[in-house]
Amino acid sequence: MLKEKETVVNNFLAFIEVAIAWLSFNISLFLYFGHFSFLRYKDSIILHLIIALVWFTLGKYFRLTQLHRSRPYSAILFNCVGLVLVGASVLGLSVLVFDLYYIGFDPLVYFGFINLGLMFTFKISVYASFKRARKHGRNTRSIIIIGDYTATSFIEQVVKYKEWGYKIVSIIGNGDLGKVYGSVIPVLDPSTNISKLIEDKTVDEVIFIKQTMDIKEVEELTHACSEVGVIFRMYSPFFNMLKSKAHIHHYNTMPLLTIANTPTDYLATRVKAIFDFIFSFVVIILASPVFVLISLLIKFGSKGPVFFKQKRVGLRGRKFYAYKFRTMVTNAEELKAKLMEDNEMDGPVFKMKNDPRITKVGRFLRKTSLDELPQFFNVLMGDMSVVGPRPPVPQEVKEYERWQLRRLSMKPGITCTWQVSGRNDIPFEEWMKMDMDYIDNWSLKLDFVIFLKTIRTMIVADGH
């Protein structure tokens, strides 16, 4: 019944998105031409039918019609951008196919921006209203959690984020969970009859979270849930390796589960590489006046060169010179040895919040991250990417533990998760784990989210 209701709601939202696309198209035509009469009636019907078909299909493909309970707004924006880019391209192709040259392509650009703004506004309004409803106990899903101590993190999130709309009916686990949650949530013994519990209570989902997985237990739970149409979800630490990394490779007729520890989506990695080249080229051209201004400020602010180059370690150990605007005095490396006892970072990295070697201009450049601008030349030359783990110096790599070397399995970037999550306030080992998590979960969507957060970081100027 819940699934049927969700399908109805999803289809309803899909039709609204089509209506928004129609409205955006007509607004764009009016803004560009000042009237509607120039568009022939038959052509108008064709274009509106194409918009309906394309936007309805893409809305399903990008999962914009689904009301996810724990989806961040940045992910929604990414999917909206994807839909508009693909949809507007198809519409432009349709103009060519149907010989509608008199319309031109400029109105389609208007259409893209208007549709993106209206659709994203509509989506976040819907999500916000559903979140408010769930906080007040409406549109909830009843769940049973079967787990051990590893389930604690998930339970804490469910309790904290009431807008997800999950209501824990029971927890089935050991005594440790009972001590923590027994006063607020019924905690049952591991020997509880799950089949009987599902029959007696209103349950939408059963979630299994344990450190170790008993195949027989999982099979029984899956069977018990499928018999009565209850959703079964399971977490295992092994899934962390499988996410976006596992595929079946056949040797003759023998299927082998293959796990790679780096991204294997060829198309996505090529899109990333193309974006890196085009974006860095555009930034260098458009920001050339900024380059000149910063160069003059550095030159008049202190003696020494404008740029600072330093040998860094890139993809799989390749050495290259990374370029930055100089933010320190020229003898900074000589002074570093005297300041080592004031190092605020653990591990092989040296960081000081109030580093006396930094010039006045350099302090501003670091806070706004403008000192990183010359690294777009590194991106253009193929040594770096826009988003990726920060490139370390060779001495740091020599002190890495073996597991930390895997951060070199992706091309280094100008910005990364560490850059937008606190920088110097993050311990070295946590920084390394953040890079591993980025590699393990890499996607174009993740790069897009980090990119947006980087812009925010530059605006609030909280770098140092």
Parse the chain into domains and list their residue ranges.
2-135, 141-237, 266-460
Burial of 348 per CB tally in 10 Å (0-12, 13-18, 19+)? middle
Residue 422 Cα distances to 156, 221, 228, 457, 464, angstroms = 23, 42, 47, 10, 10
Q: Side-chain half-sphere of 316: how many Cα atoms within 13 Å? A: 2
Place of tokens 């994203």: 120
Sheet strands side by side (includes 205-209): 187-188, 166-173, 141-147, 205-209, 231-235
- Distinct helix (H) and strand (E) counts, the chain: 17, 11
- The pLDDT tens digits along the chain (464 residues) read 444 566 677 788 889 999 999 999 999 988 888 776 667 778 888 899 999 999 998 888 888 877 777 777 888 898 899 999 999 999 999 888 888 888 888 889 999 999 999 999 999 998 888 888 888 888 888 999 999 888 888 899 898 888 888 999 999 988 788 888 888 888 998 889 999 999 888 899 999 999 888 889 999 999 999 888 899 999 877 776 565 566 676 666 677 767 666 676 777 888 898 899 999 999 999 999 999 999 999 988 888 889 999 999 998 889 999 999 998 887 777 777 677 666 666 666 666 667 778 888 888 888 888 888 999 999 999 899 999 999 999 988 898 888 888 888 889 999 888 877 766 667 788 888 888 888 888 888 889 888 888 888 777 765 55
CB 321 within 8 A of CB 312: yes
Nearest one of 426, 420, 425 to 450, comparing CA atoms: 420
Of the candidates 25, 51, 53, which has an alpha carbon nearest to the alpha carbon of residue 39? Answer: 25
Residue whose tokens read 């998760």: 417
For residues 290 and 459, give the distance between their C-alpha atoms in angstroms, rounded to a whole number: 16
CATH of domain 141-237: 3.40.50.720
pLDDT of residue 403: 86
3-state secondary structure string across 242-271: HCCCEEEEEECCEEEEEECCCCCCHHHHHH
Kindly give the interhelix angle for 2-33 and 106-135, rounded to the nearest 10 degrees: 150
The one-letter amino acid code at 439 reads: I
Measured in degrees and rounded to the nearest 5, phi and psi for residue 255 equal -80, 130
Check residue 358 and report its DSSP letter: B
Residue 374 in tokens: 């010359």
**Contact (Cβ atoms closer than 8 angstroms) between residue 324 and residue 463:** no
Tokens 């899956």 correspond to what residue?
222
- Residue 2 is predicted with a pLDDT of 47
DSSP output for 361-394: HHHHHHHHTGGGTTHHHHHHTTS-EEESSPPPPH
φ, ψ for residue 374, nearest 5 deg: -60, -15
By the 8 A CB rule, do 99 and 42 touch? no
What is the spatial distance between Cα 122 and Cα 398, in angstroms, rounded to a whole number? 51
* Three-class DSSP category at 280: helix
Q: To which H or E segment does residue 387 belong?
A: strand 385-387
Per DSSP, helices labelled H in 146-265 are 152-160, 175-181, 194-200, 215-228, 239-242
Contact 220, 146 (CB under 8 A): no
Element (H, E) at 371: none
